[in-house]
Amino acid sequence: MKSRKILIATARAISGARLSRRIAELPGYEICGQAQDLSSAYILSESCEPSLALIGSELTRLPEFEGLLSLFRVSETAWLEIPESPPGESRPITGTGPTGSGTEGQSLADWLESAQRQSPVAPLMPVRRNAATPRPAPDGQFLPDRIILIGASTGGIDALLTILSAFPANCPPCAIVQHTGAGFSDSLVRLFARCCAASVVPAAAGQKLVPGTVVIGAGCPGHLILKPGSPPLCDLVVGPPVSGHTPSVDMLFRSAVGFAPSVTAALLTGMGRDGAAGLLELRRAGAMTIAQDEASSTVYGMPRAAVEIGAAMESLPLNRIAGELLSHSRKRQALPLAR
């Protein structure tokens, strides 16, 4: 029987090593990697493709865990949270995560088996292509000056996976700011590239914003902004956080006000207000602006702020946003609002 691959990620090095030794003694299991931080766990998960990941509770509480969880969803990896006392030790175990739970007196083998019997968390955007999988929108003619801008925070990784999976290879140039921790930029670029027919690249100074390219600003050392030109150029501006974040959605949106009639912008799920003021400036200058609706948002903070100040021309469910972004990139924008 083929051994099932297990990944262990915990900052508690001694506990992780002990759990690894115990699992290695069980028949039918193979430890394919151990990590002490989320960035290392992400890289290991990509390379060894475990069937089950055991993650320490001290790591699942970090905001960056959203990125790892999204990878688990698209790769159909089950995961469990490691309790302070793993199964089979002196203390009873408690609930362990979305794909399984422990019970008092349960052995380590039973705990792992119960997790394997559970279905992984259903992905919002399955990567494996089948009849039920969303496919990229058919190629079509986009106006040559069109640009798509997107801002997102909490819950945004899954939302972006859904949107980018519908972008064709020749999609309009797209720049995205996603709030996440430092060190996760490359990981998110690889994750988004798995589901998008267009080329997905990390934000960098001098990067040309051309058709078929999606630029990701996440965990950058500066704010992702656009400089006007033909084509527009990306830049990273070093400075203090804006609206509480680096990079900031407000900074990205405001940098495009000078060519707003060419812009279609969307503000997705997230906590706080970053992006709302910038979206309003874009709308007033002639851009088409969209906010994700409350029902489909993980956290209805940023989109709510945009709706409340009149920054969004439309408030749409997640499953309609990609289509609207592409549709508006095929037609001329409305005239700017009167100030």
Q: What is the CATH number of the domain that holds 15?
A: 3.40.50.2300
Note whether 230 and 183 are same-domain residues: yes
* Residue 138, in any domain of the structure: no
Choose one of 95, 117, 139: the last residue of a domain.
Answer: 117
> What's the chain's average pLDDT?
85
Catalytic residue check, 223: no
What's the CATH code of the domain at 260? 3.40.50.180
- pLDDT at position 5 is 92
Note whether 172 and 102 are same-domain residues: no
Hey, what are 96's tokens?
């362990």
Note whether 179 and 308 are same-domain residues: yes
- Cα angle: 334, vertex 312, 194; to 5 degrees: 100
In the predicted model, what is the mean pLDDT of residues 279-287?
Answer: 98
Note whether 32 and 156 are same-domain residues: no
- pLDDT at position 86 is 58
Catalytic residue check, 274: yes
- Name which residue leads in pLDDT, 49 or 130: 49
Choose one of 65, 99, 117: the last residue of a domain.
Answer: 117
Note whether 154 and 101 are same-domain residues: no
Note whether 91 and 237 are same-domain residues: no
* Residue 50, in any domain of the structure: yes
- Using one digit for the tens of pLDDT, what is the confidence trace for 107-142? 888 888 776 665 444 433 333 333 333 445 555 689
Note whether 79 and 193 are same-domain residues: no
pLDDT at 260 over 50: yes
* Residue 129, in any domain of the structure: no
Highest mean pLDDT among 76-80, 113-117, 175-179: 175-179
Note whether 185 and 324 are same-domain residues: yes
* Residue 107, in any domain of the structure: yes
Q: Which of the residues 70, 75, 165, 179 is marked catalytic?
A: 179
Range with lowest mean pLDDT among 100-104, 296-300, 335-339:
100-104
* Residue 133, in any domain of the structure: no
Note whether 57 and 197 are same-domain residues: no
Catalytic residue check, 179: yes
Note whether 159 and 110 are same-domain residues: no
Query: d(Cα 197, Cα 142) in Å, to the nearest integer?
Result: 16
* Residue 132, in any domain of the structure: no
Q: Which of the residues 187, 245, 248, 274 is marked catalytic?
A: 274
Note whether 64 and 159 are same-domain residues: no
* Residue 337, in any domain of the structure: no
* Residue 276, in any domain of the structure: yes
Give the chain's domain count. Answer: 2
Query: d(Cα 15, Cα 254) in Å, to the nearest integer?
Result: 48
What domain range includes position 258?
A: 147-328
Note whether 283 and 245 are same-domain residues: yes
Query: d(Cα 41, Cα 36) in Å, to the nearest integer?
Result: 7
Q: Which of the residues 51, 153, 297, 329 is marked catalytic?
A: 153
pLDDT at 222 over 70: yes
